[in-house]
Homo-oligomer: A and B are copies of this chain.
């Protein structure tokens, strides 16, 4: 790419001009920038921006980009910084635009079932707001303190993807700012659109490298009136996982199908100081069903419960009260933090494989655990084939850790490719997973992606060094 290492360093004249855009209370340099802005939730990849700017409007974003573009200064947009692949790390320094202060819910349109939001609104705020209005925003990534702008940038998935799809499926329209400062509207409140190339769908999942999202029009659904959770213990993980394609084939589609093993549950119990409803079995599936009546849901879950019992489930525990559901899902929500607390450092692999290959892939992670003598923990979205596999450092030296991690990752991504899987189901590529993406898609597709990047960003100033570079 052009200018890759030749960005203008931000100097005091730049700071004066940038200050004139946002005022002196919303611009930070040097020691006034919190160290938090040098990294996301992934450790190991970090760099401080030269200047951090808080923005309150699309016009401010546009003015900053116009100045940066004219002066060849690199820019990174950031929300809550909850990413897991270093996508929002300003590896070339330059300007960081903090979009979190653009956090207004702008409009609920009940006639069109849309919600218009600024990018800094948090996922948990959207969920709460629409539910209070008896509506539903289905995407449900685990990290509820992520911003919607971040969710759009990674095309975040979450647990309900089995039935409801991912973030892209719920983005009807976007306002974006291009690298040169141009403000552009894509899509809108319309339900159908075949009016030229769907740039909106390309922006979703582009990890802040093509444009900065400054407004989003989200599609809502009516809130399902009833939900039920099944906790299903199995003798071993393999039996649990092998049941999943049979559930899918049965045509009773649950809202979500999660899997976990006993030791992850024990870690969560310790972490939360709360008991899980059952921890006697080696492996579990958690299934959620939603619908508008108890009868709808019952028909589906009875069918699925039967399939599980025929395939080696020890029991089927039904959680139909808020309290019991909460006990299960709060534990599920704590798995990541619980595993993190159980070791010194960890890294994760977010492959997505066809649903009938999950068992095969998980079996392989066990072989790797033995072969490399390193702890590997699995849990994830069995219903959509998106696995979250954590490799734990424990007491390895820095050198041993890097070495083993690289080898284990290489094996996993190679195996995923053999099973027709993709490098990332929902966390994206960012900086950390680039080499695995390149191996997966090949040189020709990578070159095509780079040309698409240049179509949006001819000077390559927006979030350089990420995704396809």
Contact = CB atoms under 8 A, between A and B. Distances in A.
Interface of A: 109-113, 134-135, 154-157, 161-162, 165-166, 168-169, 178, 182, 184, 186-199, 201-202, 204-206, 210, 221-223, 245, 248-249, 251-253, 292-293, 295-296, 299, 352-356, 381, 383-386, 420-429, 437, 440-441, 444-446, 448-449, 451-456, 467-468
A300 B456 CA distance: 45
Contacts of A184: 444-445, 448
A268 to B, nearest CB: 23
Given A113-B249, A189-B420, A190-B425, 18 more contacts: A110-B249, A135-B251, A165-B169, A182-B444, A191-B383, A191-B425, A194-B424, A195-B423, A195-B441, A196-B449, A199-B445, A221-B253, A222-B251, A292-B296, A292-B299, A295-B295, A451-B456, A452-B455
Given A444-B182, A448-B456, A355 B421 contact: no
A354 B194 contact: no
Contacts of A429: 194-196
Q: Could you say which of A112, A113, A253 has the most chain B C-beta atoms within 10 Å of its C-beta?
A: A112
Contact of A455 (B223, B292, B448): B448
A66 to B, nearest CB: 13
Q: Which 5 A-B pairs have the closest CB atoms?
A: A222-B251, A451-B455, A201-B201, A111-B356, A191-B384
A165 B201 CA distance: 14
A253 B169 contact: no
Nearest to A251: B222
A356 B112 contact: yes
Contacts of A134: 251
A120 B71 CA distance: 50
A194 B452 contact: no
B161 A191 contact: yes
Contacts of A182: 444
Given A184-B444, A354-B190, A195 B437 contact: yes
Given A202-B197, A449-B197, A352 B190 contact: yes
B428 A194 contact: yes
Contacts of A194: 154-157, 205, 424-429
Nearest to A211: B448
Given A190-B425, A448-B456, A454-B455, A155 B111 contact: no
